[in-house]
Every structure is written in structure tokens, then in C-alpha cells.
């Protein structure tokens, strides 16, 4: 897998500051860019690859999960350990080794590598008694009680309470400047690995997936409608296929470093989370929809 690494969002992930220069001043459409901002013209070509998570990845995976949960009381280190323990399902994104490097990396080389993303699924039903999953389930219901319509709250309670229809926590997290194109092979690989695990009698026969999606909202002003920009561009497609969903602001829970590296001048952008429920059997069709979205079909 290869992708251009940029400071701002790539072409598939719309820069939320584009076409809105009046957000920092009343009527001046010719404002100069922020002096500390990247213009999008500086690129570093980096080749990425997906591989099974290993023990040295634990801290990097935990940090990626913290970007989702922010200050919520969810033990992301324990969740990272769970992901590594089931490493026959899911992938981490890492930088490819330079040409001529050994293909079989030893532990020291793995430990030095940065984890750029994680795509996997955890069984929230079978693992419900593990502390971090119990915390995750509680977090979802607490957020729904505060922010979701009664019908959505009732549905989520029913889904999470039905042990005969297992629910998977679908994780699709990566650095903000990695393009959406990388999501297709990662999700395809995850789907194949889940099918293989099911065939071996493992607990990956899901009825539903739950995802927590990150996005930013530019509130309506001066006759312009609300604009939502998804941190991972493909998650706009995923969100549109949800059986049920609700959203909530996390503006009071995060700072620039945790929420996505936006500049201070982007004060009109409010960080949000959206919790969505997906029909698990629709995953192959969803991957096709993402592929079509990326290719512009």
C-alpha cells in the first residue's frame, strides 16, 4: 500500500478550511493562510503496508484508540492487548521497509516502528465481561442516554443485550493524513480473516457492527448550511449505511493534539463523534461502496 503523507487532509478527505476564508474574518475573501499552516504543496512519499499486530505495537494501538475515546474511562491498553491476542484478525498500518531490507523483521525493528493505523474487530458480546469491553458498552449506553432519540437508545440496548446475535466493535483508526484509499484493502483483508475465523469455529459470527466515527462540524452561518468533514473520508459512506446512529460533540473533552491537529484559527470546527450500528452481512457491499466512492463512480 502506498499513499502521500500530508499535513492537511488529502484530496479524498476534504480540507475543512477550504472555501471558507470568511470564517476567521467578517467579509474578507482574500485572507492569507495561517503562517503556520501547510498549503498542501509539501508532500513526502511514504509506502505503507498492513501486517498482523504484534506485542511491540501495544502502545501505538492504545494511542490510536485514545483518539477515539479521548477522556472516556475506557482502558485502551487492555483493548490493545486484546487486539494483539487475536492477531489472526485485523491489521496495523506501518511503514514499508526500504528496498533491500530483511522481510522478516526482528523484535527490535518492530519495536522501533510507528503504528500509523489499526483496522480490526472485537467481539463485544463474547468478551463482555472483560473490563475494557464492559467500559465500552457502558460508554455507548451512557452517550446514547444523553444524546440519542429514545428509539435509538432502545435499539442499542436490545442489540447489546441479545447474546444470540453477537456484536462486533469495528475499529478503523489511522493517522489523519493517510488517504482513504488504504481503507479498501484493509477492510477486504479484515472481511476475509473474519470469514476464515468463522470457518474455524471462532467467535466472529457477527450480526451487527458498532463503530465510533470521528468528524468535525462547521456550524451553519451567513446562510451556509452545516458542513461535516469526516476524519476518515470513507466513514461518510459507512455512516450513510447505518441501521441506526447518533452523534455528540466532544469539544469539551479534547485538545488540538488529541482531536486531530487542527490549528487554533480553525475555531469554527467542532469535534464530534458518531456511534453507528451496521448490519454485519452488508460489509462486502459496504467495501464496494467505499471503492466506488474513492474512484468517483
pLDDT computed for residue 257 by the predictor: 43
Mean pLDDT for 163-192 is 96
- Per-residue pLDDT for 261 more than 80? no
Q: For residue range 112-125, what is the model confidence (pLDDT) as tens digits?
A: 569 999 999 999 99
Q: Residue 65 is part of which domain span?
A: 45-295
In a domain, 74, yes or no: yes
Alpha carbons 127 and 10: distance in angstroms, whole number: 36
The residue assigned the cell 516502528 is: 113
How far, in Å, CA of 1 to CA of 47, rounded? 6
Contacts of 120 (CB under 8 A, 6+ apart): 53, 83, 86, 89, 90, 91, 171, 190
DSSP 8-state secondary structure symbol assigned to residue 115: P
pTM for this predicted structure: 0.79
Residue 17 lies in a domain: no
Strands 269-279 and 208-218, by their bridges, are antiparallel
User: How do 167-174 and 208-218 pair as beta strands?
Assistant: parallel
CB 283 within 8 A of CB 187: yes
Closest CA to 122 of 156, 144, 153, 90: 90
- Element containing residue 236 per DSSP (H, E): helix 234-240
Question: What is the CATH classification number for the domain harbouring 141?
Answer: 3.40.630
User: Which triple of cell numbers denotes residue 220?
Assistant: 451553519
Q: How many domains does the chain have?
A: 1
Length of the chain: 297
DSSP-derived letter for residue 96 is P
Residue 24 domain flag: no
Q: What is the mean pLDDT of the chain?
A: 83
Instruction: Confirm whether 25 is domain-assigned.
Output: no
Asked if residue 90 belongs to a domain, the reply is: yes
Mean per-residue pLDDT, 236-249: 98
Q: Is residue 8 part of a domain?
A: no
pLDDT surpasses 70 at 174: yes
Share of the chain above pLDDT 90, in %: 67
Q: pLDDT band for position 219 (50/70/90)?
A: confident
Q: What is the mean pLDDT of residues 229-256?
A: 93
Amino acid at each position: 500500500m502506498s499513499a502521500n503523507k500530508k499535513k492537511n487532509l488529502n484530496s479524498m478527505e476534504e480540507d475543512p478550511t477550504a472555501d471558507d476564508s470568511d470564517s476567521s474574518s467578517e467579509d474578507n475573501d482574500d485572507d492569507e493562510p495561517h503562517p503556520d499552516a501547510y498549503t498542501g504543496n509539501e508532500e513526502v512519499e511514504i509506502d505503507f503496508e498492513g501486517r498482523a499486530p504484534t506485542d511491540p505495537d501495544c502502545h501505538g494501538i492504545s494511542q490510536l484508540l485514545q483518539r477515539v475515546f479521548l477522556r472516556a474511562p475506557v482502558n485502551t491498553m487492555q483493548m490493545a492487548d486484546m487486539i494483539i491476542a487475536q492477531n489472526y484478525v485485523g491489521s496495523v498500518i506501518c511503514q514499508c521497509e526500504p528496498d533491500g531490507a530483511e522481510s522478516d523483521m526482528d523484535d527490535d525493528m518492530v519495536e522501533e516502528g510507528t503504528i500509523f493505523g489499526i483496522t480490526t474487530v472485537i467481539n463485544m458480546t463474547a468478551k463482555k465481561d472483560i473490563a475494557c469491553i464492559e467500559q465500552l458498552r457502558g460508554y455507548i449506553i451512557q452517550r446514547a442516554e444523553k444524546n440519542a432519540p429514545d428509539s435509538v437508545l432502545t435499539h442499542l440496548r436490545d442489540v447489546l443485550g441479545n447474546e444470540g446475535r453477537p456484536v462486533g466493535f469495528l475499529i478503523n483508526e489511522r493517522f489523519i493524513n493517510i488517504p482513504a484509499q488504504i481503507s479498501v484493502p484493509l477492510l477486504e483483508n479484515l472481511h476475509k480473516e473474519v470469514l476464515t475465523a468463522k470457518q474455524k469455529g471462532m467467535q466472529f459470527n457477527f450480526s451487527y457492527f458498532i463503530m465510533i466515527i470521528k468528524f468535525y462540524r462547521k456550524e451553519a452561518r451567513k446562510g451556509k448550511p452545516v458542513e461535516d468533514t469526516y476524519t476518515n473520508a470513507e466513514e461518510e459512506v459507512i455512516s450513510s449505511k447505518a441501521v441506526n446512529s447518533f452523534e455528540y460533540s466532544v469539544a469539551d473533552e479534547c485538545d488540538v493534539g488529541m482531536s486531530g491537529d487542527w490549528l487554533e484559527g480553525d475555531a469554527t470546527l467542532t469535534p464530534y463523534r458518531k456511534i453507528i450500528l451496521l448490519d454485519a452481512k452488508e460489509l462486502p457491499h459496504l467495501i464496494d461502496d467505499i471503492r466506488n466512492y474513492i474512484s468517483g463512480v
